[in-house]
Amino acid sequence: MIYTARKGANAPFILDILRLYVPPGTSGCDVTFGKGTFWCPDSLAHIGELRATDLASDGTDLTMLPYADNSQGFHVLDPPYICGFFRPHHEKTGGLASHSDFASRYGKARRGGYKGLFYHAAVEALYLDGLAEAWRVLGPGGVQITKCMDEVSNHRQHLTHVAIVNAAAALGFETLDLFVVIRNDMPHTRRIKRQEHARKNHSYFLVFRKPGGKRRSA
Ligand SMILES: C[S@@+](CC[C@H](N)C(=O)[O-])C[C@H]1O[C@@H](n2cnc3c(N)ncnc32)[C@H](O)[C@@H]1O
């Protein structure tokens, strides 16, 4: 039985999602492949071809993919989800310095923001542009898988996953599922005088479908 919430790594969620929603042998793309941690041997055995790209490794921008319209069976999106990656040039990167372990796993900070936007506005804009590009390249019935995390930025609560679900619906995607990934460890934090919000120790996989294809039978 596949459940919606679990502790641990990302790769088992991708396998669950593929088994539930992506017919065996389907080919598609992971547009933020990074170190490829989403992909275990069982997932790779389930699909056809995996087209793996990332801005950092091959210069492929998730907002301008080199694929024809309606050509992909699935699309995986996991861009930087923390506002600190999109600081203005004059600000220090702090804990997200390019040599940090975090930065090496999640991409170098994008100094100068994204399309004139900074911090959380830039995070959301990149997700939304990525979803619009997913809509273009996915074929009818194609499955879109987005990894995201909510964040508090500048003392404001941003439920990023809600914004993404709403944007996907506005594009025409059908929402298929939502998975909650719970961290194994408790995120450490600096000593603070007064806690303003609950510290987040979970993230999400969202699953959408571009309508039009054949439904899988149960
Ligand atoms: C959260 S990490 C992805 C981690 C990946 N899923 C893995 O398993 O390693 C975010 C990735 O997005 C990439 N990235 C950032 N902006 C991008 C863009 N405009 N187009 C494509 N990739 C981008 C970064 O290089 C980084 O590898």
Cα separation, 146 vs 166, in Å, equals 13
Residue 19 located in a structural domain? no
- Residues 60-111 have pLDDT tens digits of 999 999 999 999 999 999 999 877 778 777 666 555 544 455 455 545 556 6
Residue 6 located in a structural domain? no
Residue 193 located in a structural domain? yes
**CB neighbours of 113 closer than 8 A, spacing ≥ 6?**
86, 87, 88, 119, 122
Q: Report which protein residue has its CA nearest ligand 1's atom 17.
A: 55
Strands 72-77 and 28-30: parallel
Closest atom, ligand 1, to C-alpha of 37: 8
- Percentage of the chain surpassing pLDDT 90? 71
- Containing domain of residue 54, as a range? 24-209
Residue 218 located in a structural domain? no
> Is the CB of residue 86 below 6 angstroms from any atom belonging to ligand 1?
no
Whole-prediction pTM value?
Answer: 0.91
Strands 156-158 and 174-182: unpaired
Residue 118 located in a structural domain? yes
> Is the CB of residue 149 below 6 angstroms from any atom belonging to ligand 1?
no
Residue 5 located in a structural domain? no
Q: Report which protein residue has its CA nearest ligand 1's atom 19.
A: 61
**For residue 95, what is the domain's CATH number?**
3.40.50.150
Residue 96 located in a structural domain? yes
Distance 51 CA to ligand 1 centre (A): 14
Distance 65 CA to ligand 1 centre (A): 14
Q: Where are the beta strands (DSSP E) in 1-90?
A: 5-7, 28-30, 50-52, 72-77
In the 8-state DSSP scheme, what is residue 216? P
Q: What is the pLDDT of residue 218?
A: 45
Distance 34 CA to ligand 1 centre (A): 5
- Site to probe by mutation for ligand 1, drawn from 29, 54, 76 as the one with most ligand atoms within 8 Å of Cβ, is 54
- Residues 6-38 have pLDDT tens digits of 999 999 999 999 999 999 999 999 999 999 999
Work out the number of other CB atoms within 10 angstroms of the CB of residue 41.
9
pLDDT at 208 over 60: yes
What are the beta bridge partners of residue 208? 144, 175
Q: What are phi and psi of 136, to 5 degrees?
A: -65, -45
Residue 120 located in a structural domain? yes
Domain count, the chain: 1
